[in-house]
């Protein structure tokens, strides 16, 4: 069974999507449509901008979404998923690719999500850090003992858990993780505490937008971040998508569940190869590849 997976924030690079634009009329039409919907020339930033421009949350999130979704659309009949999943932001890309959301609605939601998250970040200084080489349970225990907002946010793969919270909370947690034997405790260059209670204002803003957006039956189940299980029920998909902003991304559990459910090949759709690397951490011999035009 073939799974298509979609990356989240952090996979962006200048020039992303340019090859698609130059070789596919379908891609050209969708990129132009995106510029109209967003009200600014995101293609110019993606193809020729600066790293600083691309790093802005309100640009990064729609840029990664566009690269992933347009690549899936360009694959056309070659895109035949038995299951899909996306890491954080990538969940929106997966829902457009498997037909639950339209391209236009998906892009609008991603842009609203990015703006809401940026507002939440500016309202309260906060950050994230990667803890490497400690058991998940130990990291959870450390977070629970700190009298600050600090939580497990991204279960990326066995031995790699990203925590999220107030600047002070993250600082204390990193120290305690090192004392407990973590190989590394690395603060991440992000704008705020994604997937933590500090994103509650963003969750509230996005909730209404998601509830007002039409969702359709998908061509296959999506494994969602919040539960790590296959979901096809549209109401459940909406609720999980809303909860995702303040809940952890259970990617380790998602990969394990997909493999348990019969996934025997993973294709990453979008910039970078981060998700392929994470699957290899679960099973070194697992077959992974990047989607490419002319597959």
Four-point Cα dihedral 246, 149, 277, 191, nearest 10: 80
Q: Are 74 and 27 in contact (CB under 8 A)?
A: yes
What pLDDT score was predicted for residue 191? Answer: 79
Q: Among 3.90.79.10, 3.30.365.10, 3.30.420.40, 3.40.366.10, what is the CATH number of 2-122+197-290? A: 3.40.366.10
The per-residue pLDDT for range 203-243, each reduced to its tens digit, is: 999 999 999 999 999 999 999 999 999 999 999 999 999 99
Residues 168-200 as b/e (b if ≥16 CB within 10 A, e otherwise) read: ebbbbbbebbeebebeebeeeebbbbbbbebbe
Q: Among 67, 93, 164, 195, which one carries the catalytic annotation? A: 195
Q: Among 24, 68, 88, 196, which one carries the catalytic annotation? A: 88
What pLDDT score was predicted for residue 294? Answer: 57
The per-residue pLDDT for range 95-142, each reduced to its tens digit, is: 999 999 999 999 999 999 999 999 998 888 899 999 999 999 999 999
What pLDDT score was predicted for residue 114? Answer: 94
- What confidence tier does 55 reach under pLDDT thresholds 50, 70, 90? confident
Domains of the chain by residue range: 2-122+197-290, 125-187
Report the percent of the chain where pLDDT is more than 90. Answer: 89
What is d(CA 116, CA 109) in angstroms, rounded to the nearest whole number? 10
Q: Are 149 and 88 in contact (CB under 8 A)?
A: no
Statement: the pTM of the whole predicted model exceeds 0.75: yes
Domain 125-187 listed as CATH 3.30.70.250: yes
What pLDDT score was predicted for residue 247? Answer: 97
Residue 195 is a catalytic residue: yes
Pairing label, strands 126-132, 160-166: antiparallel
What pLDDT score was predicted for residue 32? Answer: 97
Which contacts of 227-230 are long-range, i.e. CB under 8 A and separated by 24 or more positions?
228/253, 228/254, 228/256, 228/257, 229/257, 230/83, 230/257, 230/261
Q: Do domains 2-122+197-290 and 125-187 have the same CATH topology?
A: no
What mean pLDDT value characterizes the chain?
95
The per-residue pLDDT for range 151-186, each reduced to its tens digit, is: 999 999 999 999 999 999 999 999 999 999 999 999
- What confidence tier does 295 reach under pLDDT thresholds 50, 70, 90? very low
Residue 189, pLDDT > 90, answer no
Residue 38, pLDDT > 70, answer yes
């Amino acid at each position: 069974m073939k799974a298509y997976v979609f990356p989240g924030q952090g996979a962006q690079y200048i020039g992303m999507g340019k090859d698609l634009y130059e070789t596919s009329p379908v891609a050209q039409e969708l990129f132009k449509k995106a510029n109209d919907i967003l009200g600014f020339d995101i293609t110019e930033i993606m193809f020729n901008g600066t790293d600083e421009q691309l790093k802005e949350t309100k640009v990064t999130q729609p840029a990664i979404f566009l690269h992933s979704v347009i690549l899936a659309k360009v694959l056309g009949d070659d895109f035949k998923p038995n299951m899909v999943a996306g890491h954080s932001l990538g969940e929106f890309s997966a829902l457009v690719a498997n037909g639950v959301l339209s391209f236009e609605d998906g892009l609008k939601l991603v842009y609203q999500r990015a703006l809401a998250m940026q507002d939440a970040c500016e309202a309260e200084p906060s950050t994230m850090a990667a803890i490497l080489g400690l058991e998940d349970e130990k990291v959870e225990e450390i977070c629970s003992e700190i009298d600050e907002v600090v939580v497990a946010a991204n279960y990326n793969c066995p031995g790699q858990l990203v925590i999220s919270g107030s600047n002070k909370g993250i600082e204390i947690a990193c120290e305690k993780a090192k004392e407990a034997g973590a190989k590394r405790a690395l603060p991440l260059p992000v704008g705020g505490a994604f997937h933590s209670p500090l994103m509650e204002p963003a969750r509230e803003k996005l909730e209404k937008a998601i509830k007002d957006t039409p969702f359709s039956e998908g061509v296959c189940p999506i494994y969602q971040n919040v539960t790590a299980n296959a979901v096809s029920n549209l109401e459940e998909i909406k609720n999980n998508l809303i909860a995702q902003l303040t809940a952890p991304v259970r990617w380790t559990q998602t990969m394990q569940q997909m493999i348990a459910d019969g996934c025997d090949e993973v294709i990453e759709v979008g910039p970078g190869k981060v998700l392929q690397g994470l699957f290899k951490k679960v099973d070194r011999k697992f077959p992974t590849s990047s989607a490419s035009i002319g597959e």
